[in-house]
Amino acid sequence: MDEMVSVIIPIYNCESSLPQAIESVINQSYRNIELILVDDGSVDKSADMCDKYACQDKRIKVIHKKNAGVSAARNSGLASSTGEYIVFLDADDTLDKDILEQAVLSVKDRKTIYQWGYTVVFGKEKRYGSTLITHDLSKDEIMSIIIGWNVADVNLGVFFRSVCGKLLFADIIKENRILFPENLYIGEDAIFLLKYSKYIDTIQIVSNCGYNYRISDTSAVGRYKPDLLAQYEQQIEILKDIESQEHLNIVPAIVAFCYEGFHALIKNSQKGYHLKKITKREQYHDAKIWFKRHSYLMKQKKVESSGMRKLHRLQYKISRFCPFIGQYYIVKFFLRRE
């Protein structure tokens, strides 16, 4: 076990959680690591913390840069990395003490994604993820799962689309110039993994836990995003390009993504109205535009809907004959139950 693991942490104004994240890496049972801390223009004490830890541990590298977002920060970390393996960790989260050792010991084939599960942490409360299950997956199925499509008898967890919780091969990333799209802050992980998965054949579960995902009141998932429509439009164009260039059977997954976008835009608009960021008249404007642009995909009769989530499946069944207003009431009904 001489291979080095490069752990990359993008950092922006996270002084309260950063020490736990750093210490969860430097205290790993697997010692041959380099920890790359990418300070993305923090204006709190995060930058000073990075420098302090680097003085205490020679395995730590620090990159200070102007704020440009998480994708640019991760790309900077990749450019600076020298390890055989790459692991991503967010500054709000932590790793279990022996997970890197478990992952490296599991490595047998470089054309494999080695994945471990997660624990969701709300304050001091921990909620463990479900048991992860995989089998021999085709390339189509792997890419479809990354996009968000369910495959029967497979459970890779709700965070599988994230680059976190995985051991990736540095040479695959660097030789094929795989980078995070810096114009995206939503779905950038999935796009990176889709490009990476072109060069892998299977997925192996290392452990059912190992990554501790912390959710706080300031998490991005709870904020109104005024450019959410543009973010989803960029994602779907990339998905269509991948489908056409690679000649893959991932259209059902793209259709499922269309419904995901529709659902997310309605939910986002409700947040915006509640926070008084938009007017009542503007509330469902983006969702209407999305449905108009992509209903030709959402209404395809040949697409099997069994892989969709319950809400998306119901939307799919009525999409051939029900106008936007019907779609909206179904989504609104399910949102009240969340």
pLDDT tens for residues 165-218?
A: 999 999 999 999 999 999 999 999 999 999 999 999 999 999 999 999 988 655
Report how far apart, in Å, the C-alpha atoms of 92 and of each of 41, 46, 326 are. 17, 12, 39
Q: Which phi-psi region, left, alpha or beta, contains residue 247 (left: φ > 0; alpha: ψ -120 to 50)?
A: left
Q: According to the model, what pLDDT value does residue 272 have?
A: 94
Phi (first) and psi of residue 207, to 5 degrees: -160, 160
Low-confidence ranges of the chain (pLDDT < 70): 1, 216-222, 300-308, 311-338
| Contacts (Cβ under 8 Å, ≥6 apart) of 76 | 38, 63, 65
Q: According to the model, what pLDDT value does residue 284 have?
A: 85
Report the candidate in 267, 289, 187 with the shortest Cα–Cα distance to residue 223.
267
Question: Whole-angstrom Cα distance, residue 315 to residue 326?
Answer: 9
Amino acid at 201: D
pTM of the model: 0.89
**Sign of the alpha-carbon torsion through 146, 150, 152, 153:** positive
**At CA 114, angle to CA 112 and CA 116, rounded to 5?**
155
Report how far apart, in Å, the C-alpha atoms of 312 and of each of 146, 266, 335 are. 17, 13, 12
pLDDT tens profile 21-61: 999 999 999 999 999 999 999 999 999 999 999 999 999 99
Name the pairing type of β-strands 33-40 and 5-11: parallel
Q: According to the model, what pLDDT value does residue 250 have?
A: 87
Q: According to the model, what pLDDT value does residue 17 have?
A: 94
Instruction: Decide: 133 and 153 in contact? Cβ < 8 Å.
Output: yes
